[in-house]
Amino acid sequence: MKGFLGLKRHESRRLFADLARDRGESAGSGLRSLLSLRTAAGQVFVLQIVIVVVLVAAAVTALVLQAGRDSTREAGRQALTAAETFANAPGTVQALNSGDPTAVLQPRAEAARKRAGVSFIVVMNTNGIRYTHPDPKWIGKKFIGTIKPSLEGRTTIERARGLPHPEGSGPVIQAVVPVIDGRGSVVGLVSAGIKVDRVTTLSARQMPIIFGAGAAALALSTLGTALVARRLSGQTHGLGPAQMTRMYEHHDAVLHAVREGVLIIGADGRLMLANDEARRLLELPADAEQRQVAELNLDEDTARLLASGEPTTDEVHRAGDRLLAFNMRPTALYGGPAGWAVTLRDTTEMAAVTGRAAVARERLSLLYDAGVRIGTTLDVVRTAQELADVAAPRFADIVTVDLLESVERGEEPTRTAGMRRTAISGGYKEREGLYPVGELITYAPAAPQAGALETGRAVLEGDLRQTWGWREQDPDGADRALERGVHSLVTVPLQARGVVLGMTNFWRMGDSPPFKEEDLSFAEELAARAAVAIDNARRFTREHAMAVTLQRSLLPQGVPEQDALDVAWRYLPAEAGVGGDWFDVIPLPGARVALVVGDVVGHGLHAAATMGRLRTAVHNFSALDLPPDELLGHLDDLVSRIDSDESNGDGPQSHAEAVTGATCLYAIYDSVTGVCTMARAGHPGPAVVHPDGTVAYPVVPASPPLGLGSHPFEAVELQLPEDSRLVLYTDGLIENRDLDIDTGLALLHGALEGAGRTPEETCQAAIDAMLPAHPADDIALLVARTRLLEPSRVAHWEVLPDPAAVAPVRAACGAQLQAWGLEDIGFTAELILSELITNAIRYGSPPISVRLMHHRSLICEVSDGSSTSPRVRRAATTDEGGRGLFLVAQLAQRWGTRYTPGGKVIWAELALHNAAVATMSDTLTEALLDQFDDPTL
């Protein structure tokens, strides 16, 4: 501010008049002088420019507004069309009902987005959780927008900002439409959005016309003003004293009208000028001007500041009950006499508003942190602890979370008399007097928590010393808590879907201010967000427990007894949930054992149930004693039929995940010959650890996964020395996020190397070396160490195709049984062998052979070159034959037929102990009597 403000008013007017006359006398005749702002012509010229600019701006604004409305309307139409098209597209409802909607809908949504030319197409469930998004990191997060009308079957079109989309920031028009299934129910939502500036408008082509017209108008205005200025200059010879006086009066009026105090202080400390606002703020007397600052009865700090003569910027001083911000600048630097220009403004209300804004900003930051930090895991207890950790100490000094016991277990919430303390956060010493974690709490009827549960709203207790209901809950504990400084409480019920899950208690203590009414809404908002995360974790816990229970019930509970192999196994489910990996050890006739490892695609209940079906089918096919390649062929047909039946069904199962892609490796080990026959369908091949500790990956012909059909499977035979270890596994062991299959096989090779290990030690070594920190897939591992049946326990004879050859072979078998000490079952075994050899001679074809094996039971095998299947028939009373296989079935524990490349083998097993022999003898007697029972006699 210039120094002339310190002069008297009449002196200032005379000075301005003289300056104006001098300027008029010295004004030139050039265009620059004519168009000066100090002349009327110059002012008219400026006014014309302003008018032209305003008209151009108005035209541009109207054009932009019209283009904006057109763009918004067109963007809404395009977004609605894209959303409705995708929502009504075939397969959208089925994908939403599938086990993994994201896997199905994400590629479709991206393809539809690119075709439609919109910014995004998002598919979400009825809770607003995204299944698709152009940026995968937003999948699984809450949708930003209005979805309630769409959940009622209506369509929503809105303008939104701050949405995540590939084209960066900017306004977006988004449409939300419901996805309605055949029953008329809303099963999901589809939102499509388009950035407004993507819609083509005509504004860009019309802008040059408007600006060109404006430029032409400016040129005409300049020419016209120049002509008028020349004429006016000749008539007025510049501005007169009256104009300068009016200018000063206007300046004086503005100085006193502004809402900022202005003081002019001379170099001698005398107040030269004070506007009305300064007089009001400092409560100056009417005769304050021309008086010393020290004589104005100002506050000591204010007076010292004004008399200091030091430049100051926004220095705040208290003046009475006000906070004033002072600014001081010297006037001499700007061409005036020595002195100081002081401005001051009232910041009292601004400080209060700033304080409230800081609190609101802190609350918003806390809510944001709660959204990020609460619900990071699907664990109920962990989620409750995250709520306590977020709120303490930023909102409360101590936070406790109490949950219903059924909620902790993942079950549906059931209102009971008490809750269990699940989480607590805050100072350890200050917790004394509060219930510890794990304590079962029963709320007294007068307690604040009981009132919150009854009303469903937060309850505030500003002074706990006066809250007798809380003290009745636990008098001793309440007294200790009050001694520690606890003085204020807000208790909020945790509610989700209208159901109470538990309680959250916020405690303040010590110097912290007590809770106020405005804290209740924030506490309820924080509890509501946490309740949703806790309920999600509870439902996941329940569903995960159900799936794990189902899966474990479908897996083998132990290894069956057999002497051909020493077996150890491991099964480790993925972190994402249960899957479809399985294994089996199935004893087969003839001292043989079948080893099975398989994998069903996907995770969840469907994969576990499908695994159970396939495992049962493998058991049934194994009972038929099929070779590995034939068994996989039957299993392949079964998978194809399962997929076909489910895809053609009309029920809810018709949308289940396909089984096609399941893999299996089936191996049969013969402990007599040491030969292992195996085949695989899309499954990783086995590893063999030889007795010297070296590891090899034998070549097993690769075949496609199950369910593709029309692809034969090929088996291979491996000769395994005794004490070899056969290692079967699923792909989860060798493939994960960090390893490719070749690296995984190399690591497994190193983990399996070493001689003298037991199967259990081998399993543990493989898991220790291969198990990732966070398994993404199930792992099934089966290690079997081979054994060979002693040659002295196997007897073999070739039989001529002559009935007379039966007796010598029978006698030789009897002698062998005596050598083995099996005289107790000698008669039964000889009878069975006689019948089987006789049938082979009569109905079979050469070569015929007999083999006895002394194993866990006595195994009798008769093989021949015919593939004719034997049948058990009940002979009529008039038949003279036909009772042979019937007698074999009655005498043996088990019997059956298996086919070989050269014919078939009929086998029978007999128990070695006497009790079984006596039972079989009684059974034989009854069977023979039944054959001859004739009621007509």
- pLDDT band for position 752 (50/70/90)? very high
Q: For residue 889, with 0-12 CB atoms within 10 Å meaning exposed, 13-18 middle and 19 or more buried, which class applies?
A: middle
Query: Would you state the pLDDT for residue 611?
Result: 85
Q: Would you state the pLDDT for residue 19?
A: 40
* Count of alpha carbons within 13 angstroms of residue 341, beta-carbon side: 17
Q: So what's the pLDDT on residue 106?
A: 87
| Mean pLDDT, rounded, for 684-708 | 92
Mean pLDDT, range 87-93, rounded to an integer: 85
Euclidean distance between CA atoms 678 and 681, whole angstroms: 11
| Band of residue 560 on the pLDDT scale cut at 50, 70, 90 | confident
pLDDT for 485 beyond 70: yes
Position 169 confidence tier, pLDDT thresholds 50, 70, 90: low
Could you give the CA distance from residue 120 to residue 116 in angstroms, rounded to a whole number?
10
Report the percentage of the chain scoring pLDDT > 90. Answer: 13
> Mean pLDDT highest for which of 318-327, 785-794, 872-881?
785-794
d(CA 413, CA 537): 13
Are the C-beta atoms of residues 613 and 815 closer than 8 Å to each other?
no
Quote the strand ranges of 161-216, DSSP E: 172-180, 186-195
**Mean pLDDT of the 387-395 span:** 86
Scanning the structure block, which residue is given the tokens 């059956």? 896
pLDDT at 782 over 90: yes
Q: Is the pLDDT of residue 632 over 90?
A: yes
pLDDT given at position 22: 45
Which amino acid, one-letter code, is at 76?
A: G
List the single range of 252-256, 271-275, 355-359, 650-654 with lowest mean pLDDT.
Answer: 650-654
Does the pLDDT at position 56 exceed 90? no
The tally of CA atoms less than 13 A away on the side-chain side of residue 245 is: 9
Peptide bond into 847 cis (omega under 30): yes
Burial class, 389, CB count within 10 angstroms (exposed 0-12 / middle 13-18 / buried 19+): middle
Per-residue pLDDT tens over the stretch 902-914? 888 888 888 887 5
For residue 42, the model assigns a pLDDT of 66
d(CA 256, CA 263) in angstroms, rounded, equals: 11
Q: State the Cα angle at 8 between 7 and 10, rounded to 5°.
A: 125
CA distance linking residue 481 with residue 427, whole number of Å: 12
Question: For 227-230, which contacts have Cβ atoms below 8 Å and span 24 or more sequence positions?
Answer: 228/41, 228/44, 229/31, 229/34, 229/35, 229/39, 229/41, 229/42, 229/45, 230/34
Pick the range with the lowest mean pLDDT from 248-257, 865-874, 896-905: 248-257
Which among 846, 908, 826, 921 is positioned nearest to 872, based on CA atoms? 908
For the chain, give the number of residues: 937
Can you spell out the DSSP letters for 796-816?
A: EEEE-SSGGGHHHHHHHHHHH
Chain centroid, CA 820 distance in Å = 65
| pLDDT at 140 > cutoff 80 | yes
Tens-digit pLDDT profile for residues 396-412:
888 999 998 888 887 88
The alpha carbon torsion through 406, 408, 410, 411 (nearest 10 deg) reads: 0
Note the pLDDT of residue 20: 44
Contact indicator for 609, 587 with CB cutoff of 8 Å: no
Handedness of CA 221, 223, 225, 227 (dihedral sign): negative
pLDDT at 433: 66
C-alpha distances out from residue 362 to 353, 367, 388, 426, 530, Å: 14, 9, 17, 19, 18
Confidence band for 4, pLDDT divided at 50, 70 and 90? very low
> What is residue 719's predicted lDDT score, i.e. its pLDDT?
94
Kind plus residue range of the DSSP H or E element containing 82: helix 40-87
Report the range out of 31-45, 105-119, 663-677, 880-894 with the highest average pLDDT.
663-677
Least confident of 47-61, 512-526, 779-793: 47-61
What average pLDDT does range 768-790 have in this prediction? Answer: 87
d(CA 457, CA 473): 20
Cβ-contact 727, 759 below 8 angstroms: no
pLDDT digits (tens, 9 = 90+) for 582-618: 899 999 988 899 999 999 887 777 778 888 889 899 9
Token pair of 76 as six digits: 């809404």
**Mean pLDDT, residues 872-888:** 61
Question: Is residue 271 a contact partner of residue 290, using CB atoms and an 8 Å limit?
Answer: yes
Q: Which two tokens stand for residue 372?
A: 């990020």
Identify the three-state secondary structure at position 165. Answer: coil
Q: Are 542 and 516 in contact (CB under 8 A)?
A: no
Dump pLDDT digits (tens) for 296-337: 778 777 888 888 878 888 777 777 667 788 888 888 766 667
Half-sphere exposure of residue 280: CA atoms within 13 angstroms, side-chain side: 11
Contact between 820 and 789 under an 8 Å Cβ cutoff? The reply is: no
Q: How confident is the model at residue 420 (pLDDT cuts 50, 70, 90)?
A: confident
Q: What is the mean pLDDT of residues 827-856?
A: 86
Per-residue pLDDT band for 338 (boundaries 50, 70, 90) equals confident
Sign of CA dihedral 492, 496, 498, 501: negative
d(C-alpha 512, C-alpha 491), whole Å: 17
What is the average per-residue pLDDT within 628-643? 89
Quote the CA–CA distance of 785 and 334 in Å, as a whole number.
101
pLDDT-derived band of residue 681, with 50, 70 and 90 as boundaries? very high
Centre a 10 Å sphere on the Cβ of residue 609 and count the other Cβ atoms it contains.
Answer: 17
What is the SS3 assignment for 745? Answer: helix
- pLDDT-derived band at 2 (thresholds 50, 70, 90) equals very low
**What's the pLDDT score for residue 409?**
80
**Tens digit of each residue's pLDDT (9 = 90 or more) over 186-212:** 889 999 888 766 544 445 666 677 777
Phi, psi (degrees; rounded to nearest 5) at 127: -95, 0
665 DSSP β-pair partners:
597, 680
Residues 6 or more apart from 535 whose CB is under 8 A from it? Answer: 496, 497, 499, 501
Rounding to the nearest 10 degrees, give the CA dihedral for residues 9, 14, 20, 23.
Answer: -120
Across 723-753, b (16+ Cβ under 10 Å) vs e yields bbbbbbbbbbbbbbeeeeeeebbebbeebbe
* Nearest to 455, CA basis, from 418, 402, 493: 493
Task: List the beta bridge partners of residue 404.
Answer: none
Q: Is the dihedral of CA 618, 620, 626, 632 positive or negative?
A: negative
β-bridge mates for residue 599, sequence order? 581, 663
Amino acid at 817: L
pLDDT at 246: 67
Q: What's the pLDDT at 692?
A: 93
Q: Give the pLDDT score at 66.
A: 73
Q: Which of 121-130, 250-259, 268-277 has the lowest mean pLDDT?
A: 250-259
Nearest to 463 by CA among 502, 407, 508: 508
Rounded (10°) CA dihedral 545, 546, 549, 554: -140
> Which pLDDT belongs to residue 676?
95
pLDDT-based confidence at residue 23 (cuts at 50, 70, 90) = very low
Q: What CA–CA distances, in Å, run from 853 to 99, 410, 566, 792, 861?
A: 51, 54, 20, 9, 8
Which uninterrupted H or E stretch holds 792? none
- Tracing tokens 């098209």 back to the chain, one arrives at 85
- Cis upstream peptide for 166 (omega within 30°): no
Task: Report the pLDDT value the prediction gives residue 230, as an integer from 0 to 100.
Answer: 63
Rounded to an integer, the average pLDDT of 641-648 is 74
* Nearest Cα residue to 667 out of 644, 691, 642, 698: 698
pLDDT for 575 = 66
Q: Which amino acid is at 41?
A: A
Which one-letter DSSP state was computed for residue 270?
B
pTM of the model: 0.53
Highest mean pLDDT among 154-168, 176-190, 676-690: 676-690
Q: 806-819 vs 826-843: helix axis angle to the nearest 10?
A: 150
pLDDT on residue 25: 45
Cα dihedral: 8, 9, 12, 14 (round 10): -110
Interhelix angle for 605-623 vs 518-554, to 10°?
Answer: 10
